[in-house]
Amino acid sequence: MSKGNPNGAHRLSQKLADFTVNFSLPAAPAKALENAKLAILDCLGVAALAATQEVGVGLLKFASANTSPGPCTIWGNSQSVSPRDAALINGTLAHGLDYDDRNHSTTYTLAASLAVTEQLNLSGAKMLAAFIVGREVRNSLDALFGRRSDGIGPGAKGWHSNGILGPIAAACSAAHALSLSARETLAAIGLAAGSCGALTRDGGTMAKPFRTGHAAATGLTCALLAQSGFSSDDTAIEGPFGLLEALGPIPDDIVASLARDLGVNFHLAHELRIKPYASCTATHNGLEAMLRLARQHDLKPEAVASIECDQKPYPLVRQIPARGYEGRFSMAYCLAMTLIHRELKPDDFIDANVQQPLVQELMGRVRHTPGGPILVVNLKNGLRLEEKLQTPSDLHGWDAVGAKFSAATFGIIDVTSGAAIIDQVKRLESLASIRSLTQLLKPSAV
C-alpha cells in the first residue's frame, strides 16, 4: 500500500478527459440509456418534492436573496436563475430528502448538465450525453470508497464520496455539454480535483445535500473557467501531492482499477437502485423487516418491550435524533415510525414527530446489536419475534419509477404537465430543445 501510487493511476486524468470529449450516445448500451432516463425522472421528482419541505424552504429563501436572475429553472419552483445558481440549488434539492437513487451521483451530474444545456438551449440528446458522461466518470472512481466499511480508503477516515468525486464528475458533465476541447476538459478536471470535500459526519443534516449542490456548481464553475482559459495541473488527481496522495493511503489494487473500464463497462448498464423510502439506505433493511413483522403479527407499539437491531452507527450518525430531519440517519427513528404507522413517508421527518412521546419511548427501547443479521421485537407478554434483515428493495421500470415521480410531484406540478414530463424523459434524445422539458418543471400555480 502506498500513499497515492501515481504510477498505478498513470494518465488517470487524461483518461477521464478523453472519455468526456469523445463520448457519444451510440457508444452506450441501450440499457444504459434507459437507466439514465429513469434516474433523471426520479431525480427531478424528488427534487421538486424537496422544494416544498423544510430543506427546500430554507434553500429557496437563500435563492430569493442571493441568486442572480437567468434562464435556468429551479425544479419545482417558479424562480429562474443563472446556470451556476441553478446547479447549486437543484443539486442540493436533488439530495435534500435522501430520496434520490442510492448511487447519489445523479444529483450533481444532472444539475450541471441541465444548467448548461438549458442556458444554451441545447438538445435533449446533448443533455443526456452530458449526464451519462458525468455519472460514468464518477462511478469509474467509486472504488476509492468501496471498502470503507473494512476501514480502507478515504471513506473510512470520514470523507464522503459525493463531495470528493462530485466536483470532478460535474465538471466532466459540464465540459461535455459545453463541447470543451481535450485540453480545456483536462484543465476543468484539474481545477475540480482540488475543489472537493464532504464529511460522513454531515449525514442527517442539511450539510449533506449541500455537498451535492456544491459539487454541481463547483464542477460547472471549473468547466467555465477552463473554457475561459484557466489552466491547472494535468495530473492533479494522480500526480505526486495530488488528490490520491491527499486521500491516501490507498491500496495499489484500488488505484490501478480507477477508470480502467471507463467507456467499456457502463455502470448505468447495471440495475439501478431507486429508493422507495426517503432515508439513508442503511435504514432500509431494518425498517422493511419491521414492516414485515408488523403486518404479519399485527404488532401494536404499546405491546413492544424492546427492539434489537444493528443501529449501524456508521454511517447512521444520528442514532437518537433531536430534530425530524436527523431521523433520516437514525435506525431507531425509522423503526419507531414504521412500527407506529406501518409505512414511512417522505414527509414523516419533521420535528413534531420526533417530539411525540410514543416515538421517544420506542426509540429508547431500541438496543444496538452490532452486526446482527436479524431484527428482534420482544413483546411485553414474553414473545420474541425475529425477522431476517434482507437486501433493501428497489423500484424498477417505468411504471414504478413513474408512480414515485407522480406521487412526489402531486400538488406541485399539475397532472398533465407531470405526464408530459414522463413522456419527454422517455424520449429525451429526440427533444430538439431541453427547454421543452424544463419549462414543465414549474409549479402548477404558475
Residue 394 lies in a domain: no
For 126-176, what is each residue's pLDDT tens digit?
A: 999 999 999 999 999 999 999 888 889 999 999 999 999 999 999 999 999
Domain range enclosing 366: 281-388
pLDDT of residue 445: 56
- Contact criterion met (CB below 8 Å) for 43 and 157: no
Residue among 30, 39, 31 at smallest CA distance from 394: 39
The reply to whether 198 and 124 lie within a common domain is yes
The reply to whether 319 and 412 lie within a common domain is no
Residue 141: phi and psi, rounded to 5, are -110, 0
CA distances in angstroms from 294 to 231, 297, 339, 342, listed in the order given: 59, 6, 6, 7
Residue 2 lies in a domain: no
Last residue of a domain, one of 388, 409, 427: 388
Residues of the chain with pLDDT below 50 are: 1-2, 4-7, 446
The reply to whether 261 and 324 lie within a common domain is no
Question: Three-state SS for 150?
Answer: helix
- Contact criterion met (CB below 8 Å) for 211 and 219: no
Residue 7 lies in a domain: no
Residue 250 lies in a domain: yes
Residue 105 lies in a domain: yes
Residue type at 158 in one-letter notation: G
The DSSP call for residue 387 is: E
Query: CA 265, 268, 273, 277 torsion: positive or negative?
Result: positive
Counting the structural domains of the chain, the total is 2
Residue 6 lies in a domain: no
CATH of the domain at 344: 3.30.1330.120
The reply to whether 22 and 147 lie within a common domain is yes
Residue 406: phi and psi, rounded to 5, are -65, -40
The reply to whether 25 and 170 lie within a common domain is yes
CA dist., res. 263 & res. 28, Å (int): 8
pLDDT of residue 148: 86
The reply to whether 415 and 352 lie within a common domain is no
The reply to whether 82 and 194 lie within a common domain is yes
Residue 5 lies in a domain: no
The reply to whether 423 and 316 lie within a common domain is no
pTM value is: 0.96
pLDDT of residue 8: 58
For 303-326, what is each residue's pLDDT tens digit?
A: 999 999 999 999 999 999 999 999
- Grid cell 498505478 is found at 8
The reply to whether 216 and 132 lie within a common domain is yes
CA dist., res. 66 & res. 239, Å (int): 37
Residue 3 lies in a domain: no
CATH of the domain at 189: 1.10.4100.10
The reply to whether 138 and 171 lie within a common domain is yes
The reply to whether 237 and 294 lie within a common domain is no
The reply to whether 376 and 436 lie within a common domain is no
